[in-house]
Structure 1
Amino acid sequence: MIGTRPASIGRIGKTLAHIAVTATLLSIFTPTGALADAGFKRWVASFRPVALSSGITPTTFNRAFAGVTAHDPVVLEKARYQPEFTAPVWDYIDNRVNENSISVGQAQARQWSPWLARIEKRFGVPRGILLAIWSMESNYGEILKRDEVMRDAIRSLATLAYADKARAKYARTQLIAAMKILQTGDIDRGHLTGSWAGALGHTQFIPTSYQAYAVDIDADGKRDIWTSVPDALATAANLLHKNGWEPGQTWGYEVVLPAGRKIPAGSRTLAEWQSLGVVRANGKPFPRGSQKATLKTPDGRGGPAFLLTKNFFVIKRYNNADKYALGVGLLADRISGYPGLVQDWNRPFTPISMKEREELQQHLQTLGYYDGNIDGKIGETSRKAIEAFQQRNGISPDGHPSKEVLSVLRRR
């Protein structure tokens, strides 16, 4: 019945989850699962001479693969979903640039101020950008504390090399690099953890990037991006610096496009853009008319528009996605005390704050629809819970965390 509490949904969800876990365990011990593990073991054995020919010692290889006897199915599941390329831009930004990430970033700026000043002086990258990257990559290190998120980097990369054809070449290269990190002694085997794709530490460096850019700024003899925040932030700064970061320059400007006029694409100087009727959204003049910038409208003509400078594209050397670089830039500005966007995103619903999103998740959990974290971040689990609630209450099941849905939940 519409509006009634679905008392059985939570129990059904737990039963389904139990069935799924049971099926997974059975797959490991049934002949099919046994064959898969045997295939993985054969792959590891075949990879050994490749690793040794690349400079990995037999001792390091044995240490790396000690206890790694099966591939990681969670890694393959996560490989199928990358929000930088699938989520709508407003959804991606809302989950990463919000009152929580801003306030925590400002607190971290105060806590690490002396180190940030030292890093800025050495590499020329502003602290706001570094703090935003730290937030985007690991929620200021919080995900490193979550066992359900962090994976064994060796097992993750070996899984991708063994079972993911699209990423096999990448994974083999990164696996050898990860073993070289282990071989140098910068990290011990028990702490060589990372994301499903093998990204490491507070600032989530893939192993080859770690080799190229890792910095021991705290001078303890180890380039430790897992437990040393200064090393992690300096490593991020070094990557941007070596890829052409222009000190003293912004990543971009929010702009307003002239009404009823088609604006050509391409890269032009800010003075040329201004001559075409493109002006800053805050009404201020462009500080350097000779600086080149590229126009992007990630949410269409009716959403916010941006003129993006070279530094925006340097950020993309960290993660080659416009949404990612935009998220870093917008969050960096807010951490640094600048106001938010003048033109809001074209969300197909009335948005709510992060605290209201947490409240929404709490209501859904109480009603038995949701069993995830109460963190205000609207991922796939939250959207499915919202959709289920909407369906049972006569609301179009779009899965959006809207004020309208929250209002209905508050009445339950």
Structure 2
Amino acid sequence: MPDSLLVRARLPVIVLAQFAGTSLWFAGNAILPDLQPLLNSPGLNGWITSAVQIGFISGTLVYALLALPDRFPTTRVFLLSVVLAALANVGWLFVPLRAETVLTSRVLTGFFLAGVYPVGMKLAADWFRPVLGRAMGFLVGALVLGTAFPHLLRGLGTTLPYRSLMLAVSGLAIGGGLLLFLVVPSKPVSGQRVRFQVNTLRTLFQPSAFRPAMLGYFGHMWELYTVWAFLPLLIGLYNKSHSTEPLNVPIWSFLTIAAGMLGCVLGGFRALQIGSSRVARYLLMTSGLCLVLLPLLSSMPPAFFGVFLLIWGAAAAGDSPQFSTLVASQTPLDSRGSTLTLVTSVGFLITVVSIQTMAWLVSHYGASLWLFWLLLPGPVLGVLAIRENQNG
């Protein structure tokens, strides 16, 4: 392939590899209806998502402390990580089925995904800095679509055995990693040993150029993954009052999450015109408004409620690449990989608290659309934080 074609292919390949790798994220959620009767574990919904988040948090801390994204060629880190995540994703299929082994598998999958999502962002920041907002839009959009993909597989083939679904997703992830390794070169790494600096951790809690975007990102994370984790429950609650015209739960779960890709991509193009800060702020305000309206719109006809879900899905995820852009563009080059990884780690720690709080409320007080107001502080506080940043 000519060099010019290889250069033009880099962003699509990074996007494809990110999509393939992150399809591992919610694979456990997609097969949850099959597992719950077999495991007799009604509380598995919250934990099967939190297990991945806990693994991801642990992984990002290890990757950051060892400065792996900055010490070694980025594409090698990505490939090895995605292969290990894919193997962890299917490891439980070869041992007796127990809740403990399933959750352990999800933790390990999340751990190695720490070398996929943040490392993909570093690749984008390395190669596409002049148009980073747009590149991040495509990249995080791929993550969103990858997250939604297992729901689509479940929705299109309800008889697809859960083993086949898990093996297919793992095969896709490895294929994406290999393609990235073959097409996208890593930026040269220095011969010096790069160490994680305590100052990197300290800057998260001190005034800095990226702190407003970081705090806005944390508010966004309080909402996003809890919405994704409980989307089947949310749609099921809506269906109870519309039993004659119910929405297809896995298909609409896929469509709502996948709409986030459109929000990411369109937001990336818009960021080139008005700046990442404004785009992130407007989308965060929109998702917060959707949270307010959710229980008030439950009587809407299915077609209108479906459109509402698509708007919410696009807004809830669409601000994420712009927060990543603002953080990446304000971070020193020699610590960019570690800083992005560490900020991502704290963001996902917040998701665990949010998901488990929602799961506790559902188990103690019953499922209700009003419970989703628990997520409102995230967009509100995030908007207030990002208003500090007038330069993005």
Q: What is the TM-score normalised by the length of structure 1?
A: 0.22
More strand by share: 1
Q: What is the TM-score normalised by the length of structure 2?
A: 0.22
More helix by share: 2
Higher relative contact order structure (alpha carbons within 8 Å, sequence separation ≥ 6) = 2
Bigger CA radius of gyration:
1
